Amino acid sequence: MEQFESGKYVSQGSYKSFQPSLINRQWSNTDMKVQELLGKADRELGRLDMYSEHIPNISLYISMHVLKEATQSSRIEGTQTNMKEALLEQDEVPVEKRDDWEEVQNYIKAMNVAIESLENIPFSSRLIKETHKTLLQGVRGEHKLPGAFRKSQNWIGGSKINNAKFIPPVHHTIGDYMSDLEKFAHNEDIYVPMLLRIALIHYQFETIHPFLDGNGRVGRLMITLYLVEKNILQEPILYLSDYLERHRQDYYENLTKVREENDITQWFIFFLTGIIETAQDSILTFKNILQLQKDVNEEIQKLGARTVHAQKVLEHLYQKPLVTADEIQKLTAISMPTVYNLIKELEELDILNEITGAKRGRKYLFSKYLSLFEPR
């Protein structure tokens, strides 16, 4: 790591682009702080991964993790949609917030499609491009080559290229850089711990900035994809965007420090600290879910014959903690008068809370459950 050289600035006439060094090569790490954090991160991920084995129907809860990731990753890019708003249907979202809402929905779809695609497509430029295409479909940025690497120069910060904070590599080098990144991701002839690999891949991807738009969101999404593909996690239950949002300035500064000062060690420390904190937060969330589930199951036993209907509603709520009377009727196949009686009883048990204040089109939120995922 002491010999690390991030790259160099190359004159392109009226500006200088940053051309990063290739990463598919032998690496060595002698920094004891990095080694210590790497060991701790591995242990915490192991603890977290246990939950994917022992929690029944864990897929129900993964959807809420993805929802949180989508809102936080999009927030880093400036959107203002929160988790409660993201649960609404499009026509229920204020017009001025719909663009933000659509970007969050696209992120959820992109993550779900990418995870499913891993069964047939390895972590690769192809997968990254397909994920990017889904991310930008029909939203702001849809005219910026969704699913294709850029064919022009981009820049970060500043109103124009002449006052930009950072200018990524020229477009005709992107193919070579992404090919090198892909080879590094799967090269078994070099020894680099997987967590350091994805830390380096994320840094390199953000430095290459291969798309005209959506690079940040795709780069953060790639972290989870890589952890799942390499079987570090059996299920997609770790997402770093909340940590990166809370430490947004440090995030950008550490990426810049690698380029300007060749300090890859500090980036590894920041990244591994994020893995550790996020894994610990996710473990606590799962513990709280299990406790809430236990408490709620005890409460609904008070409903007697309607307990079985309440259980069907709860199974829906663990996946999406917002429901309407019509949805409950479809879930339970009971009459509407009985539905409203069930809703009233679930409100009295403080399981459901009506959030619209309207007489029609009422929506009921499983607030205690949603609160477990709220950003801290």
Please check the confidence at residue 1 and state whether its pLDDT lies above 70: no
pLDDT tens digits along 327-363: 999 999 999 999 999 999 999 999 999 998 888 889 9
* Count of Cβ atoms closer than 10 Å to residue 44 Cβ: 19
7-285 belongs to which homologous superfamily? Fido-like domain (1.10.3290.10)
At 140 the pLDDT is: 74
Contact 131, 221 (CB under 8 A): yes
Contact 217, 73 (CB under 8 A): yes
pLDDT tens digits along 11-65: 999 999 999 999 999 898 778 999 999 999 999 999 999 988 777 778 878 888 8
Q: Which is higher by pLDDT, 174 or 99?
A: 174
At 113 the pLDDT is: 94
Q: Which is higher by pLDDT, 262 or 77?
A: 262
Q: At CA 61, angle to CA 126 and CA 233, rounded to 5?
A: 50
* Exposure b/e, 3-28, CB count within 10 A at least 16 = b: eeebbeeeeeeebebbbbeebeeebe
Please check the confidence at residue 142 and state whether its pLDDT lies above 80: no
Please check the confidence at residue 230 and state whether its pLDDT lies above 70: yes
Fold of 296-370: Arc Repressor Mutant, subunit A (1.10.10)
Mean per-residue pLDDT for 136-163? 89
Q: Say whether 20 sits in a helix, a strand or coil.
A: strand
Contact 374, 360 (CB under 8 A): no
Please check the confidence at residue 130 and state whether its pLDDT lies above 80: yes
How many whole angstroms separate alpha carbon 267 and alpha carbon 86?
Answer: 32
Residues of the chain with pLDDT > 70, as a percent, come to 99
What's the distance, Cα to Cα, between the start and end of the chain in Å?
34
Domain ranges of the chain: 7-285, 296-370
At 315 the pLDDT is: 92
Q: Kindly report which listed range (78-82, 121-125, 240-244) carries the lowest average pLDDT score.
A: 78-82
CA-based nearest residue to 231, from 367, 122, 362: 122
At 78 the pLDDT is: 82
Please check the confidence at residue 143 and state whether its pLDDT lies above 80: no
Q: Kindly report which listed range (82-96, 159-173, 187-201, 255-269) carries the lowest average pLDDT score.
A: 82-96
Q: Considering only the C-alpha atoms of the chain, give the largest distance between any 2 of them, rounded to a whole number of Å.
A: 78
135: left (phi over 0), alpha (psi -120 to 50) or beta: alpha
Mean per-residue pLDDT for 298-307? 93
Please check the confidence at residue 184 and state whether its pLDDT lies above 70: yes
At 375 the pLDDT is: 79
What does the block give as tokens for 53? 């084995």
At 185 the pLDDT is: 97
What does the block give as tokens for 359? 């007489």
Residues of the chain with pLDDT > 90, as a percent, come to 78
Contact 362, 348 (CB under 8 A): no
Residue 364: its H or E element:
strand 364-365
Which residue shows structure tokens 């993964």? 62
Please check the confidence at residue 141 and state whether its pLDDT lies above 80: no
The verdict on pTM exceeding 0.85 is yes
| Integer CA distances (angstroms), 372 to 42, 47, 68, 140, 233, in order | 24, 19, 11, 31, 21
pLDDT tens digits along 85-120: 999 999 888 888 888 899 889 999 999 999 999 999
Grade residue 2 by pLDDT with cuts at 50, 70 and 90.
Answer: low
* Count of Cβ atoms closer than 10 Å to residue 214 Cβ: 25
How many whole angstroms separate alpha carbon 13 and alpha carbon 7?
Answer: 19
- CA 334 to chain CA mean position, Å: 37
Mean per-residue pLDDT for 53-78? 85
